[in-house]
């Protein structure tokens, strides 16, 4: 492929996909209703309801016709539940709530209560359809990303354009993205300017201006300008593909409370069946009528079933996961929401997490009659052949001030210390202070002062001694202090775990408002410190972006990765990903976790109270089967709707 960027020829402008207007809520609700009406389970519920109405009307004409219609309603509304219950019974040799409801309905019909049994089937099928629809809706916000994945790309090679499948792109390819098209791979803009809608990746509501040198992400929508993009991460290594993998994990991961509830459901179902059998057999032995005892047993079977308890957790969790996704916060599962709600400490990596991960020049201290501008030009020239991040920062600063660095005659790197350079016939050293012998007290004091401020010092030395000192520091993220204050306001302590020097770490911690500082840590030391903090405080979240943070992310209760700047190892290890690298979203995620935990508690307390009340009334005075059906199944519908509240921001 030619390394040069071809001139863009006239392009047929495709109109960008319009963003939904703020006033489209009513339209969205209409579409949501249509989806519900065409939902397979809901269609079965509607048919079941119609059959029940026809059966009731036919009861005035023919009992046989009425019974046949009720039986049809049983089959239509109860088929899915019966199949699921039988599969559980046959494959796992266990009972679940589906089979309990079918048995209760059949039992009611056996003693002549066809209408009550059919209504039970109808309401149970309605709650099941609503729960399924809720689950699909809550995951649709995330899984719809699959529809945004580009299928083809316009590959530019030898000044010609060729449409190729996205899977054929390799690193270094140059692709053309026309207005209104989706960017096919992660890359860097080589030519052109445009506003790019990154909402699908970062959650940003406004398009982001992209110019040469700026990164772009697969799946994002180009605006009105044409872009030539160099492919950096093709195929499955793109950030977009990683998001899809996170989505798939999030949809399959169950929280601990849900796993417990499923185990409890099966034990509870056995107990309910046992008590039902005892009621059927014991009441006649005590002098009661068999039909009455069987009827009361069927009522017990209905009202004691744990439908609402089972529905208390997962719809709420999926709604919360969907809510977070719309903010650019991706959870890998509801379990991590539970853990995050109980977090007591949030630990941060420093470089690339609390800071931007890019050093910038802060101080120039000249000696030997150099002024600041001359010293900066000299340092940039000495560093112009180096690929070190500090060297690049010095060169960039000089260029930004209108200077044109010269190249040295030779450069030799002293690994870990600095470089030795020959420039304009003179030998120079540039690097750490310990690399420079013969330093005066004044020069040492200046270096000490800068290091105490948390800055990295670069010293220039020639044959006459120290020519000057440059200080650089990684800038704290603009939102870091606000994010830390938000966490403090929620009663959560903050810590910094870094491999940097103690003085630098403490200076950054003071600026960000961090409580606890642990410096000079290797990756294994971070893991040990995470375990120590867990023992001291309890649940802990770790925020990081680099490969060296991956072990600590795994050791924490909740690992949080920076999505845009994070390494593949950090993204794979983390339990939660901040797609916009906005640290303020950590506090928002904790609030969402706590809100979810509160909704789940409300659901479970309400469901248990309804079951206890209905069972008590049934034993004390007896309640009609229709009332038991309505009371029990209404509680199931209410807990599902309560979980849906978490979809709101």
User: Catalytic site residues?
Assistant: 349
Whole-angstrom distance, CA of residue 202 vs CA of residue 326: 9
Q: Which residues contact 261 (CB under 8 A, 6 or more apart)?
A: 309, 310, 312, 313
Determine contact, residues 560/537, Cβ cutoff 8 Å.
no
Nearest to 80 by CA among 51, 39, 116, 112: 39
Report the distance separating Cα 307 and Cα 631, nearest Å: 12
Beta carbons of 156 and 228 less than 8 angstroms apart? yes
Distance CA(268)–CA(168), nearest Å, equals 54
Q: Identify the three-state secondary structure at position 247.
A: helix
Name the β-bridge partners of 154.
Answer: 163, 176
Tell me if 162 sits within 8 A of 154, measured CB to CB.
Answer: yes
Using a 10 angstrom Cβ sphere, with 0-12 exposed, 13-18 middle and 19 or more buried, the burial of residue 531 is: middle
Neighbour-count burial for 582-601, b at 16+ CB within 10 Å, e otherwise: bbbbbbbbbebbbbbbebbe
How many residues are given for the chain? 649
CA torsion, points 636, 640, 645, 648, in degrees to nearest 10?
-170
Helix (H) or strand (E) run with residue 191 in it: strand 186-191
- Integer CA distances (angstroms), 387 to 291, 372, 382, 395, in order: 88, 23, 12, 10
Q: How far is CA 418 from CA 311, 388, 415, 458, 461, in A?
A: 63, 10, 7, 9, 11
Query: How far is Cα 648 from Cα 317, in angstroms, rounded to an integer?
Result: 13
Residue 29 to residue 265: CA distance in whole angstroms? 34
Inter-residue contact 117 to 108 (CB < 8 Å)? yes
441: which 2 tokens? 């007290």
Helix, strand, coil percent values for the chain (each to nearest 5): 55, 20, 25
**The tokens of 242 are what?**
């990683």
Tell me the three-class secondary structure of 293-341, residue by residue.
Answer: HHHHHHHHHHHCCCHHHHCCCHHHHHHHHHHHHHCCEEECCHHHHHHHH
Are the C-beta atoms of residues 192 and 148 closer than 8 Å to each other?
Answer: no
Q: Mapping DSSP to helix (H, G, I), strand (E, B) and coil, where does residue 565 land?
A: coil
Q: Please check whether residue 313 is in contact with residue 258, taking contact to mean a CB–CB distance below 8 angstroms.
A: yes
């Amino acid at each position: 492929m030619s390394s040069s960027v071809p001139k863009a020829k006239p392009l047929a402008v495709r109109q960008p996909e319009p963003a939904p207007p703020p006033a489209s809520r009513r339209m969205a609700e209409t579409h949501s209703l249509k989806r519900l009406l065409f939902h397979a389970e809901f269609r079965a519920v509607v048919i079941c309801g119609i059959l029940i109405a026809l059966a009731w009307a036919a009861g005035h004409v023919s009992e046989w016709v009425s019974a046949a219609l009720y039986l049809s309603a049983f089959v239509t509304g109860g088929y899915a539940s019966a199949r699921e219950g039988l599969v559980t019974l046959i494959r796992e040799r266990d009972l679940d709530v589906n089979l309990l409801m079918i048995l209760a309905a059949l039992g009611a019909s056996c003693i002549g209560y066809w209408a009550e049994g059919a209504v039970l089937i109808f309401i149970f099928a309605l709650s099941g359809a609503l729960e399924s629809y809720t689950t699909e809706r809550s995951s649709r916000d995330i899984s719809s990303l699959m529809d945004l994945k580009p299928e083809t790309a316009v590959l530019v090679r030898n000044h010609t354009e060729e449409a190729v499948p996205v899977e054929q792109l390799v690193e270094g390819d140059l692709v053309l993205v026309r207005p209104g098209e989706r960017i096919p791979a992660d890359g860097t803009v080589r030519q052109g300017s445009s506003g790019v809608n990154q909402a699908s990746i970062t959650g940003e509501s406004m398009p982001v201006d992209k110019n040469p040198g700026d990164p772009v992400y697969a799946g994002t929508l180009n605006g009105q300008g044409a872009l030539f993009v160099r492919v950096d991460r093709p195929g499955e290594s793109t950030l977009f593909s990683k998001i899809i993998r996170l989505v798939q994990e999030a949809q399959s991961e169950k929280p601990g409370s849900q796993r417990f509830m499923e185990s409890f459901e099966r034990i509870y179902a056995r107990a309910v069946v046992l008590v039902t059998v005892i009621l059927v057999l014991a009441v006649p032995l005590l002098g009661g009528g068999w039909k009455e005892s069987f009827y009361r047993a069927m009522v017990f079977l209905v009202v004691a079933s744990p439908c609402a308890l089972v529905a208390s957790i997962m719809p709420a969790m999926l709604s919360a996961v969907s809510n977070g996704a719309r903010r650019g916060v991706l959870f890998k599962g509801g379990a991590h929401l539970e853990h995050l709600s109980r977090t007591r400490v949030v630990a941060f990596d420093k470089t690339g997490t609390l800071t931007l991960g890019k050093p910038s020049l802060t101080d120039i201290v000249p000696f030997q009659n150099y002024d600041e501008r001359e010293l900066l030009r000299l340092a940039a020239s000495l560093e112009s052949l180096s690929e070190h991040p500090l060297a690049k920062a010095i060169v960039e600063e000089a260029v930004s001030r209108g200077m044109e660095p010269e190249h040295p005659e030779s450069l030799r790197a002293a690994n870990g210390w600095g470089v030795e350079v020959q420039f304009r016939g003179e030998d120079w050293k540039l690097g750490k202070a310990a690399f420079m012998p013969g330093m005066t007290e004044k020069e040492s004091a200046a270096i000490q002062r800068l290091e105490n401020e948390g800055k990295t010092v670069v010293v220039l030395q020639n044959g006459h001694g120290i020519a000057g000192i440059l200080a650089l520091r990684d800038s704290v993220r603009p939102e870091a202090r606000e994010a830390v204050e938000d966490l403090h306001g929620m009663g959560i302590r903050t810590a910094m775990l870094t491999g940097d020097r103690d003085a630098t770490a403490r200076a950054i911690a003071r600026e960000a408002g961090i409580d606890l500082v642990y410096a000079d840590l290797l990756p294994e030391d971070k893991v040990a410190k995470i375990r120590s903090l867990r023992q001291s405080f309890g649940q802990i979240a770790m925020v990081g972006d680099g490969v060296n943070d991956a072990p600590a992310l795994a050791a924490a209760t909740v690992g949080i990765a920076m999505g845009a700047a994070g390494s593949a190892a950090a993204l794979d290890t983390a339990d939660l990903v901040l797609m916009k690298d906005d640290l303020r979203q950590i506090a928002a995620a904790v609030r969402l976790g706590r809100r979810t935990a509160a909704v789940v508690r409300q659901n479970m307390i309400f469901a248990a109270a309804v079951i206890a009340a209905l069972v008590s009334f049934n034993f004390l005075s007896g309640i009609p089967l229709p009332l038991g059906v309505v009371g029990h199944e209404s509680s199931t519908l209410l807990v599902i709707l309560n979980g849906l509240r978490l979809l709101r921001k």
